[in-house]
Structure 1
Amino acid sequence: MDAQQDEMLRKLQQQVDQDDSNYSSWVTGEELKTLTSKRCHFFDKHGFIFIPGFANSGEVNSMKSTMKELVENNWNPKIETQVFRTDEGQLEAQSTSDYFLDSAARVHYFAEKDALDDEGELKAEYQSDKIAALNKAGHGIHLTKGAFQDYTRSEKVCNLLRELGWQQPCVPQSMYIFKQASIGGEVTSHQDSTFLYTTPRQTCIGLWLALDDATLENGCLWVRPGSHHEHLRRQFVRNPKHFGESLVYDGSDDEDHAEL
């Protein structure tokens, strides 16, 4: 972490330390106990926490090698070549795809659009290195026995969620994002609850683990502090007239969302 990032986090922590108002848990809506940890207070105020070295090198290497094996052994791009997008083509790309909708309990593979030719086939340069053509794999990776399941169910992950206020957390989805050089698709600003909507409160939390160093230069995660307290701007729901076949957009954009 460079000096600029360190200074930003220091100032955000200072805001937490100087705030004398009563804290209410973003998760439960209840007032936080006086013995609640500092990073729980930080999370409730700003909507994120940064934990360096949360996964050790053994866990990281095991997950990377496991994914390489899964891709090599299980993905046949001649049969399954689905593109994943988060730009203006997102609704068209994912909304009517059974391959996408059926990925909740298994691992499906989604290519970068620029890795395919006009016929929808992998370009020649990716034929012998197909993992370099992938945007992501998901969404039931946590159900795969081995490195991913072990990490997801690890004591440290469970303890972190309990510390932040979750009492009975469940894992609705997991994904492995490749962040390919040169052809990596843009990930636009969004709220995770758009896709993982919960009632009576929005309690979706994302645990984002960088398996490689993530920097401003190579595409790190961005967050706007405090935005978790804002209203939900978009919600994807199943179309009741065509249940199981398509999704519909419910909600509207505003100027603030474009600047997330």
Structure 2
Amino acid sequence: MNAAQLSSYERDGFLVLPDFLSAADCDALQARAAELVAGFDPGPTRTIFSTVDHGHARDRYFLESGGDIRFFFEEEAPDQLNKIGHALHDLDPVFGRFSRQPALAALAREIGMVQPLLLQSMYIFKHPGIGGEVGWHQDATYLHTTPVSVTGFWIALDDADRENGCLIALPGAHGGPLRKRFRRSGDAMVTEELDATPWPAVEPVPIEVRRGSLVVLHGLLPHASSANRSSRPRHAYTLHLIDGCASYGLDNWLQRADFPIRGFT
């Protein structure tokens, strides 16, 4: 990033980097996702992913996915996949090579991460006509460190616009407090309200990007996406990073039982 881009990110809480991936890179990630889907046998039980009722949070299949590659289905169309998560970057060679490329490591350093760790990865489908809505949220609600350090790298594998459910953000609102924590409480998951301050009264900005763009998202930035009601797909690959200098709580939903959280090497 140059100085102007860094200043924009610090002001708005998000930054668009066009043409971060080549068309060939996008093709490779989409092809690999298709291979994973072709080899997946869902069996009789399917976990539905919903940001509305969080029913998936009661499912061990979801809660134990931090160190695995697992498949989650759409709320409106239970025969269609919503996403694959959450350790593609560690367990799949194609996603692993992409996720640990030097350009991403350099970007993490440029935004101020001292010891960047790759915590979570997701391949998101947003199928035509059914791709589910994602409500307003802050990523630090779900992936919490002290101090807050989670950062999202959201990569468009298709053109993303208002018609097919692009990201929407409240620019500058990352300067406000963390409103909620989604955390473990014994054997249950709870959503704890930390601050009742409403979202600031700023105009939501649609983050319309072309295929291959990378969007950097601050962990406190309120953002969302609408349902995909278009005839076009809106695939994306997302990495969430935390700083190893911060403390990652044992009450976070995502825990690693079998192997540690690693950085870029």
TM-score, length basis structure 1: 0.73
Partner residue of 1:246 out of 168, 188, 191: 188
Q: Is 2:32 the partner of 1:66?
A: yes
Partner residue of 1:182 out of 116, 129, 147: 129
Equivalent residue letter for 2:62: F
Q: Is 2:161 the partner of 1:195?
A: no
How much has 1:145 moved relative to structure 2? 3.2
**Cα contact 1:189–1:257 (8 A) shared by 2:** no
Aligned sequence identity (%): 35
Partner residue of 2:61 out of 99, 103, 110: 99
Equivalent residue letter for 1:192: D
How much has 1:256 moved relative to structure 2? 2.2
What is the rounded CA distance, in whole Å, between the counterparts of 1:36 and 1:179 in structure 2? 32
Greater strand proportion: 2
1:151-180, CA deviations, whole angstroms, 9 ceiling, x for partnerless residues?
A: 110000001111111121001111011011
What is the rounded CA distance, in whole Å, between the counterparts of 2:74 and 2:121 in structure 1? 18
What is the rounded CA distance, in whole Å, between the counterparts of 1:36 and 1:77 in structure 2? 45
Q: Is 2:4 the partner of 1:38?
A: yes
- Which residue is 2:263 aligned to? none
Residue aligned with 1:203, SS: coil
- Which residue is 1:109 aligned to? 71
- Which residue is 1:256 aligned to? 199
Equivalent residue letter for 1:115: A
- Which residue is 2:150 aligned to? 204
What is the rounded CA distance, in whole Å, between the counterparts of 2:101 and 2:150 in structure 1? 19
Q: Is 2:32 the partner of 1:54?
A: no
What is the rounded CA distance, in whole Å, between the counterparts of 2:138 and 2:101 in structure 1? 26
Structure 1 unmatched ranges of 5 or more: 1-34, 117-121, 123-132
- Which residue is 1:82 aligned to? 47
**Cα contact 1:238–1:246 (8 A) shared by 2:** yes
How much has 1:58 moved relative to structure 2? 1.6
**Cα contact 2:173–2:199 (8 A) shared by 1:** no
- Which residue is 1:172 aligned to? 119
**Cα contact 1:194–1:234 (8 A) shared by 2:** yes
What is the rounded CA distance, in whole Å, between the counterparts of 2:167 and 2:179 in structure 1? 20
Greater helix proportion: 1
Q: Say what the alpha-carbon RMSD is for the aligned residues.
A: 2.0
Structure 2 unmatched ranges of 5 or more: 205-221, 223-265
What is the rounded CA distance, in whole Å, between the counterparts of 1:253 and 1:208 in structure 2? 28
1:48-76, CA deviations, whole angstroms, 9 ceiling, x for partnerless residues?
A: 11111101112111110001001111x22
TM-score, length basis structure 2: 0.72
Equivalent residue letter for 2:95: F
Residue aligned with 1:256, SS: coil
What is the rounded CA distance, in whole Å, between the counterparts of 1:96 and 1:254 in structure 2? 28
Equivalent residue letter for 2:189: L
1:8-46, CA deviations, whole angstroms, 9 ceiling, x for partnerless residues?
A: xxxxxxxxxxxxxxxxxxxxxxxxxxx972212211111
Equivalent residue letter for 1:108: R
Residue aligned with 1:114, SS: coil
1:203-248, CA deviations, whole angstroms, 9 ceiling, x for partnerless residues?
A: 1100000100001111111111111111001101110xx3xx3211
- Deviation >3 Å, runs of 4+: 252-255, 257-260
Q: Is 2:98 the partner of 1:156?
A: no
**Cα contact 2:49–2:72 (8 A) shared by 1:** yes
**Cα contact 1:59–1:147 (8 A) shared by 2:** no
